[in-house]
Every structure is written in C-alpha cells, then in structure tokens.
Homo-oligomer: A and B are copies of this chain.
C-alpha cells in the first residue's frame, strides 16, 4: 500500500549524470543516444514516473479540465461528461467534476475559484446566468466554455442549442399528426432551459400550431415526481389530446399521470419529451423526444476547450448544435385510432 516514489534527481544520481540531462533524456530533445539509453535504464530500474505536481508548477499547466454542472446525476450532464472525458482523456487531460450549486452566486464563486489554478480550463453548464456570472467568466484566468446559452456578444466561448426551436418542432409534429389541443409541461421558468422552452412553445402557439387552444403548467423541477404532480393539474383541463414536456423526465411524469386517469398513450394522449435520454428510449411506450445532442454538445465543448488550452491566445468561439425530433411510440397513432375518436 505504500511504496515510495522515485524522483528525477534519484534517477539522475543512479544514472550518474546531471539533473538537466536526465530531464532532457526522458523528455526527448537534445540528448545523445547513449545518454538517453543510460537514463532510460536508470528510470526503468527505479520505476520512475514524473511527478505531476512538480511538472505542473514548472510548466504552468495542470493537464486538468473542470466540468461543472448543477447536478452530476442528471442524465443529460452524464452524457456530456462522458463525451467530454472521451475527447479529453486521449489528449492526456484529466476531468475534474464540480457542482455549481443552485444559485448564480454559487456558480460565480465556482468560476472565481479558478484563480487557484488547479485546472487549465472549465466547461460549465449553468442553469441560470446573470451579469456577475458573465463577468467572472470573462475575467477567469483560464478559458471557460459555456454549454447552454449562446454568449457570443460577451466574447465567451459557448456551445448552444435551439431548445426553443426544438419545442416548436415537437408541437408542429403533434399538429401534423392530428393533435388539436396541446398542453405544455415545463420546468422552472427562471432557468435558462425553462425560459427558452417556454418561448418556443409560445411561439409555436402563436404560429397557429394549436388550432383548438393550448394550456401550460410549470413543474417545480425537471424531475419525474414534479412532472407527475404538475401533469395532474394539466390533464384536469378539458380536451387535451397531447402533452409536450420540457424534458424526458417530465414526460414520463405526464405518462404516469395519464395512466392514473385511464388515458392511453399515445391513443388518447400523445406525449413528447426532450433530451432523448436512455430512460426515454427504453420506456414503454418508447418516448418521442427532441434530441438536443448532449453527446455532440459535450464533444464540441471539449474540442473547443482543447484548442483554447493548447493555445491561450485563441479567440472565443461559438458552436451551435441543432435539435432533432425523434419520433417513437408515445406520439404515434394509427389511422384507426384516430378515426375512432
């Protein structure tokens, strides 16, 4: 459990050469063949591995990147993290997970903590944004990439998606497949996604995608439990034949609420989600969902980060990932189903 690590000077001593030569020999440049061989041998005998901390101090580079979100258990963030790790690890970067906390203040504090210099950059997906947070990001001593909201105007690198447009696509899909009265089940409006999705729904309604009216409720949280509670309220309204939920978990809550009322999904009620999560894919019925490309966004953010970390003079850059509607059972119906109504 406790072997002791060899240092570079021990390798140097064993090889009988100077510290400087040892470093060069191991690192590659500017050493004779004989020297390299000799040092390599000594290093191997001692089982030498360079110390990450010493090296970081000297090189002013930690080879670590932080990934910060409100809740590392959220499937969407998990997917992003996996993608980010997948991109960064092969380049020798480690990923440090951090939580932003619920408020913009705690998020801003987290960004400020970058002043401790423990990472070369941070990928962050804040639930909410405010001026102080933006300022902290701009003043951060290392590059920060924001996932979730386009911040081009502030000179901040970001990876965004069009979740408003995604909701619009879901509403149009329901309209086109014959649904007439659509309910919207959203999460908290004071979050970036909640606000955008509401905007998307309102726009779709204005555009006439709900000929026979619409209803909207707001759940306390983006979870199944909160979705169930809010969906009960929503389904109490008369004549809804479809529910657009702001994410997959809320959609599943809605399906549970529908079952309680004896409504069949999708025959009596179509339901769509958003985020295209595993949980929705395997659900029964499988869930129609708007993919916001979590994996793709994570990957894009990581690639941006990589560029910024390798070359700090890089300009801030923005990437947009488009939404994609994936139709599955929860919003399908056969012609016969429809005609029975």
Q: Please list the residues of chain A having a beta carbon within 8 angstroms of any beta carbon in chain B.
A: 1-5, 47, 49-54, 56-57, 62, 64, 71-73, 78-79, 81-82, 85, 89, 94-99, 112-113, 115-118, 137-141, 143-144, 155-156, 224, 249, 252, 255-256, 259, 278-279, 282-284, 312, 316
- What is the total number of copies of this protein in its complex? 2
**Does the CB pair B79–A73 fall under 8 Å?**
yes
> How far in angstroms is the closest Cβ of chain B from A293?
16
**Does the CB pair A99–B89 fall under 8 Å?**
yes
**Does the CB pair A117–B52 fall under 8 Å?**
yes
**Does the CB pair A96–B98 fall under 8 Å?**
no
> How far in angstroms is the closest Cβ of chain B from A109?
11
Q: How far is the CA of A2 from the CA of B117 in the complex (A)?
A: 13
**Does the CB pair A51–B117 fall under 8 Å?**
yes
In the complex formed, the residue of B with least CB distance to A259 is: B284
**Does the CB pair A85–B97 fall under 8 Å?**
yes
Question: Please, which residues of chain B bring their CB within 8 A of the CB of A85?
Answer: 72, 97, 99
**Does the CB pair B94–A95 fall under 8 Å?**
no
**Does the CB pair A155–B1 fall under 8 Å?**
yes
Question: Please, which residues of chain B bring their CB within 8 A of the CB of A140?
Answer: 1, 3
**Does the CB pair B3–A139 fall under 8 Å?**
yes
> How far in angstroms is the closest Cβ of chain B from A310?
15
> How far in angstroms is the closest Cβ of chain B from A182?
23
Q: How far is the CA of A255 from the CA of B282 in the complex (A)?
A: 10
